Structure 1
Amino acid sequence: MGFEWDFAAVWQHSDMLFEGALGTLQLAVVSIFFGVIVGALLATARLSTHRGMSLPATCFVEFFRNTPPLVHFFWFFYALPIVAGISLSPFWAAALALSTQSGAFYAEVFRGGIKSIERGQWEGGRSIGLTSKTIMRRIILPQAFKRMAGPFMERTFELTKTTTLASTLAFGELLYQAMQVNAITYRPLEVYSTIALMFFFFLLVMSMCMKWVEYKITAN
């Protein structure tokens, strides 16, 4: 006897899946926001000529780029209360883990974009009497943003997919909610097929938006 698909049971609990989708979106937006801030600060520190700033920033970047994100989820949720006496909700533990790791990757995107601008651009700006800050703001950054666009969008895309790891902390994002629906309906094939399609369409739209933004940035 062949398998008979039955999405009726899944549809009955669609409110749980949409609630999970909203949780995924919230976690992604917060993590991207703070990740960009962390990345900008780290990139600035790494570009500094002072070892007291560049060395700690480099260590931070290398550590978070070369350790699994799931370890960070567990550390911020389970270990931080023991070490520092600070207890975080599953949402904020996941957001902190994603923000710090994505910040490390964003830092390299920002730093790489700035470093890719030819040295002659700096020298040309100084030759006409511009300060370093003015050169950075009016000459270097506008060019660097165009080169950063692709890697930045790709990292943002990967961060959004990584939000599924928050299910390990019992945060109600899409995968966790799907697990709850499956526990109720006992229809794993339909449940996980549904969220696969939800992720596919969500990330497809996100990817198309990112490509459009990238095109607009690089075309100007």
Structure 2
Amino acid sequence: MEWSFAPVIANLDILLLGLLNTLKVTGLALSLGVPLGLALALMRLSQVRPVSMVSAFIIEFFRTTPPLVQLFWFFFAFPILFNINMTPYLAAVVTFSIQSSAFFAEIFRSGIQSIDHGQWEGSKAIGMSRNQSLRRVILPQAVKRMIPAFMERSIELLKTTTLVSTIAYTDLMYQANSIAQSTFRPLEVYTVVAVIYFVLIFAFSQLSIIIEHRLAKSGEGTVN
């Protein structure tokens, strides 16, 4: 067998369009998943037991069930149950926003709990409410410790979004499958796709390492 990357290069614009679509889903899922994760973490830490239990159930459900099953449910079952038109893009964003929020919630919870309790007491002593203490004192310190874990989770989300090709969303993998079938060069196509993902994820990983080293030098710990 002779390798030929000429058909792949000829369709490189299609692959790049697929990569753009992949990044669109990943970016929007992160934008929605982080604040939703914070809300779930605060609910999980609530002293109101029903609120804490509901949050715990949501977090554990979306952390333990396969993302592919979640994706299929939102794309196929959700529209039938609620009479909502669910496009592949919308289904992907909803699925990965909620799924990633469950993991971000645990990162937020670990970060908040890693802050010494004396910080709460100190802010309370100067007249801050619990919400003010959380917003002005606790979260700014906790977020620094959570950054490496956030970046690691973001990388996992980028890899997980390859599943969206199964519902015909035109991401990088979907375009790669189409090119492989039309050119009969699957090895070359998937090799190029692997290189693209490697470059992206390696760059993010190196950035995460740099940030973690800087935080370690500044005396800030990290959470997993």
> Which one of the candidate residues 181, 188, 191 is aligned to 1:190?
188
Q: Report the AA paired with residue 194 of structure 2.
A: A
Cα deviation for residue 93 of structure 1 reads 0.4
Give the aligned partner of residue 106 of structure 1.
104
Give the aligned partner of residue 76 of structure 1.
74
Higher mean C-alpha deviation, range 140-149 or range 121-130:
121-130
Q: Report the AA paired with residue 102 of structure 1.
A: S
* CA distance in structure 2 between the partners assigned to 1:127 and 1:40 by the alignment: 25
Where does 1:142-161 land on structure 2 (aligned, <5 Å)? Answer: 142-161=140-159
Give the aligned partner of residue 169 of structure 1.
167
Q: Report the AA paired with residue 21 of structure 1.
A: L
Give the aligned partner of residue 126 of structure 1.
124
Higher mean C-alpha deviation, range 40-49 or range 183-192:
40-49
Q: Report the AA paired with residue 30 of structure 2.
A: I
Q: Report the AA paired with residue 190 of structure 1.
A: E
* CA distance in structure 2 between the partners assigned to 1:19 and 1:130 by the alignment: 50
Query: Is structure 2 residue 24 aligned with structure 1 residue 35?
Result: no
Counterparts in 2 of 1:192 and 1:178: CA distance versus 1, 3 Å: same
Cα deviation for residue 9 of structure 1 reads 1.1
- 8 Å contact from structure 2 (residues 148, 211) kept in 1: no
Q: Report the AA paired with residue 55 of structure 2.
A: A
Deviations 1:20-74 (A, max 9, x none): 1111111110111111121011111111111232121111111101100000110
- 8 Å contact from structure 2 (residues 30, 154) kept in 1: yes
Matched positions, count:
218
Higher mean C-alpha deviation, range 158-167 or range 206-215:
206-215
* CA distance in structure 2 between the partners assigned to 1:61 and 1:181 by the alignment: 38
Between the aligned residues of both structures, percent identity stands at 46
* CA distance in structure 1 between the partners assigned to 2:5 and 2:117 by the alignment: 60
Cα deviation for residue 126 of structure 1 reads 2.2
Give the aligned partner of residue 204 of structure 2.
206
Q: Report the AA paired with residue 16 of structure 2.
A: F
SS at match of 1:86: coil
Q: Report the AA paired with residue 22 of structure 1.
A: L
Deviations 1:125-170 (A, max 9, x none): 2233333233222321222112212211111110011110001011
* CA distance in structure 2 between the partners assigned to 1:142 and 1:38 by the alignment: 18
Query: Is structure 2 residue 17 aligned with structure 1 residue 19?
Result: yes
- 4+ residue runs over 4 A deviation: 213-218
* CA distance in structure 2 between the partners assigned to 1:80 and 1:132 by the alignment: 38
- 8 Å contact from structure 2 (residues 36, 101) kept in 1: yes
- 8 Å contact from structure 1 (residues 31, 96) kept in 2: yes
Higher mean C-alpha deviation, range 53-62 or range 164-173:
53-62
* RMSD of aligned alpha carbons: 1.6
SS at match of 2:101: helix
Give the aligned partner of residue 65 of structure 2.
67
TM-score (norm 2): 0.91
* CA distance in structure 2 between the partners assigned to 1:207 and 1:27 by the alignment: 20
